[in-house]
Amino acid sequence: MNVLKRVILIALVISITAVCGACRQSVPPASQPPAASVPEAPTDPTENTEPTATVPVTEPEPESVSILDFLRIAVQPVGQTMYVWGGGWNEADTGAGAEAVTLGVSPRWAEFAAKQDSSYSYENTKYQIHDGLDCSGYVGWAVYNTLETENGQAGYVYQSTKMSKQLADRGLGTFIAADEVQQWLPGDIMSMKGHVWIVVGMCEDGSVLLLHASPPGVIFSGTLLPDGSNSQASELARQIMREHYPGWYARYPRCARSHAFLTASSAMRWSADVLSDEEGLRHMTAQEVVQVILETNDDSKPRPNPDVVFSASLSLCHSCQFPRAVFGCFAQKNKCPSAILSNFTF
């Protein structure tokens, strides 16, 4: 009996298992809802599918301006511009006039100068302001043409006696009182009672070559020695005017100026972040500076290396007193010879 019960129970289990298996096969498996289809965007064959690199936008750096630029600009009116009281000032005589805030040399200056002879006197041309320049009008014009790139900006013409101080107050450089001036470096703007002038450089005897507008006109001049005798600077000024401006020199040969120019003048010395001295002019004598500022653009003529300037003269460097007679004076990016001698190969 027990055996029969076991057989019936096993048969029942087998039947139930078979029915459940059939049920599982008849029910479809659960599935996720189909994802919504996204239509593909049409492809533009000209479109760049590569990621685009971002190029940083940088402002162009302003062009560097140097003391050499200033002196080369200051030379432009020399020998072709008469001294005219009020020249470079405005009609109201309160500041810079049209010519002093205009880039370039006014053609009217040379036209007026060509009509004059050795009898010219500025007393007869006072306030013909468009025909020439006076001392402060000249210096203001030179500063404007060095620093500005457009016409009609604020000018730099001031009363000559105070001009060095006022230019320094505008942030162009350092003011040095007359009794504190011990060196006269290229580009220095010097003010004395009734006059203002520009230093070109010092000569070995301590005299100074300068540029200024002084009757009869815009010229190179040289200071005399303390005893009033001729100096290297006065001789150099005569040589420059005679060789480079012979027509002017034939009519107006006077080039010497009093030694008082040195003892009575305050200075405005350019700040390095306004005018650089990358050519090393402040390490050169007046003779060397003249060679650089008056050099031609003729490619056939050897041009001095702006990094290294050599002089075989029997003198000492004004900046470091290094013996030129032995090694020469090497002015490399404002460095004195003693700073670079170890790097120089003989």
Tell me, yes or no, whether 102 lies in a domain. Answer: yes
As to burial, measured by CB atoms within 10 angstroms (0-12 exposed, 13-18 middle, 19+ buried), residue 243 is: exposed
Q: Find out whether 200 and 289 touch, Cβ atoms under 8 Å.
A: yes
Tell me the average pLDDT across 295-307. Answer: 41
Q: Is 198 helix (H, G, I), strand (E, B) or coil?
A: strand
- Least confidently predicted of 23-27, 129-133, 159-163, 174-178: 23-27
Of the two residues 283 and 44, the one the predictor is more confident about is: 283
Tell me, yes or no, whether 32 lies in a domain. Answer: no
For residue 92, give both structure tokens.
């109201």
What is the pLDDT, as a whole number, of residue 64? 86
- Least confidently predicted of 38-42, 64-68, 153-157, 278-282: 38-42
Predicted confidence (pLDDT) per residue in 197-247, tens digit: 999 999 999 999 999 999 999 999 999 999 999 999 999 999 999 999 999
- Residue 252, pLDDT > 70, answer yes
Can you state the angle between helices 232-244 and 286-293, rounded to 10 degrees? Answer: 20
Helix (H) or strand (E) holding 197: strand 195-202
Tell me, yes or no, whether 109 lies in a domain. Answer: yes
Tell me, yes or no, whether 174 lies in a domain. Answer: yes
pTM: predicted TM-score of the whole model, two decimal places: 0.70
Domain that holds residue 251: 67-273
Tell me, yes or no, whether 334 lies in a domain. Answer: no
Can you state the angle between helices 286-293 and 67-75, rounded to 10 degrees? Answer: 70
Tell me, yes or no, whether 203 lies in a domain. Answer: yes
- Least confidently predicted of 61-70, 234-243, 313-322: 313-322
The tally of domains found in the chain comes to 1
- Least confidently predicted of 20-24, 256-260, 319-323, 341-345: 341-345
Tell me, yes or no, whether 312 lies in a domain. Answer: no
Neighbours of 193 (CB within 10 A): 10
For residue 243, give both structure tokens.
């060789």
- Residue 28, pLDDT > 50, answer no
C-alpha closest to that of 244 among 264, 265, 218, 224: 218
